[in-house]
Amino acid sequence: MAYFKVAFGFLVTAFLSAAVSLAHPGLGFGWGGVGAPGGQSGAPSYRLFPQFYQFSCPQAEDIVMSVLEKAIAKEPRMAASLLRLHFHDCFVQGCDASILLDNSATIVSEKNSLPNRNSVRGFEVIDEIKARLEEACPQTVSCADILAMAARGSTVLSGGPSWELPLGRRDSKTASLITSNNNIPPPNSTLQNLITLFQRQGLDEVDLVALSGGHTIGVARCATFKQRLYNQNGNNLPDQTLERTYYYGLKSVCPKSGGDNNISPLDFGSPVKFDNLYFKLILWGKGLLNSDEVLLTGNVGNTMELVKAYAKDENLFFKQFAKSMIKMGNISPLTGFNGEVRKNCRLVN
């Protein structure tokens, strides 16, 4: 009789375990992924994978896309803003939605860091996506995954590539203003500095050039490129790599004093279309930021060859951009029982 009780108990346990795995397929063993914390020896390995919400919130990606379509139709620039949010999130504590947290008694918000202040935007779109997802699937889809899905959706809706997106990130309970200041590459970076900051995240030169191609959409503030126009090397002279006509056009937008918040497109030829024109503009001396220009002229590694290759072959750029976005999205995610799924992306639960 005892044997049958044990056998029955084992079957019940196995059934319940299978049911939990189906409802929350991330709670399993050995799923393929990159960067997921392993915990103690013998602990389960929680990894990211595309079907994470297949059973718990199958409509998640449709909800994200429906909000994005309206937001980007209303303001095409929003696509670049949302892509940038994901980037500025992942480079700080990993892809954990720490960038979305507002100041509170326990949080010093990353929104006030030098790279983010008066610059990062799109938070209201993330709020709307989260509200819709909470109605459909309460406390299921993380803010970190919303950022990743919004970045991919924004790329697609701007005419760029899609990719199979690993999911299952959880949200941090902390933010780091200091790390945000130190880890996000500044617009006046040298090439060596860019390479170092990307290597710190496990990203190589190919990822650096491909992800820089995200500048094919969006704008930058005058403050981020003023140095190139008036005092590039501390000698009160402009950056000699700037094409002359382009240089004079930028001066009309960005005066020597004041105007710091005036904006200029990163890719003036097709500022809301995701294409490879960004790389062609760099070759023509019409890259807006120093961090764009040095990919060609920095004389470190193979970045010049990559710029030329992507300028020549848009499909090659699209394929690598997708690969590099997946790689970036896998930087140190919180998984399993680490972190939480926030009810409100701006606040810890």
Which segments are annotated as binding site for heme b? 215
User: Within a 10 A sphere around the Cβ of 240, how many other Cβ atoms?
Assistant: 11
Binding-site sequence positions for Ca(2+): 89, 92, 94, 96, 98, 110, 216, 267, 275
Residues 6+ apart with CB under 8 A from 168: 26, 31, 33, 46, 47, 48, 49, 52, 145, 333, 335
Binding-site sequence positions: 89, 92, 94, 96, 98, 110, 185, 215-216, 267, 275
H/E/C letters for each residue in 264-315? EECCCCCCCCCCCHHHHHHHCCCCCCHHHHHHHHCCCCCHHHHHHHHHHCHH
Distance in angstroms (rounded) separating the CA atoms of residues 279 and 277: 5
Burial 122-151 (b: 16+ CB within 10 A, else e): bbebbbebbebbbeebeebbbbbbbbbbbb
Q: Does 86 participate in catalysis according to the annotation?
A: no
CB 336 within 8 Å of CB 46? yes
Residues 6+ apart with CB under 8 A from 230: 236, 238, 256
Q: Which of 88, 111, 327, 346 is catalytic?
A: 88
340 forms bridges with which residues in the sheet?
Answer: 171
71 class by beta-carbon count within 10 Å (0-12 exposed, 13-18 middle, 19+ buried)? buried
CB 81 within 8 Å of CB 218? yes
Task: Using DSSP bridges, classify how beta strands 263-265 and 219-221 pair: parallel, antiparallel or unpaired.
Answer: antiparallel
Burial 156-195 (b: 16+ CB within 10 A, else e): bbbebbebebbbbbbbbbebbbeebbebbbbbbbebebbb
Q: Terminus-to-terminus CA distance in the chain, angstroms? A: 48
- Residues serving a catalytic function are 88
